[in-house]
Structure 1
């Protein structure tokens, strides 16, 4: 099953934009990735804390 042409075009535009952003300002791109990683890490930690609190309330 292949993707419709519009999805391929949008995907390629996103990839090209990301490559352009990384190549033109690598330090800012690294800061953005670092910030995104912090958001994901904190989200996962909060989920674990939530379930840990649920399981410890016996």
Structure 2
């Protein structure tokens, strides 16, 4: 294994709008999409916020 050619990726999980972190190492992913429009302890996500995440 050539350690000089290793690539590191860190996945950043988003389930509601927050400062977006993205670079060659940090990769944003959307979690909880299947329940995104359901009410939770934080309330219901707006259509605008849902567009931001997707």
**TM-score class, shorter:** under 0.3
Larger gyration radius, structure 1 or structure 2 = 1
TM-score (norm 2): 0.24
Using CA pairs below 8 Å that are at least 6 residues apart, which structure has the higher relative contact order?
A: 2
Q: As a proportion of its length, which structure holds more helix?
A: 1
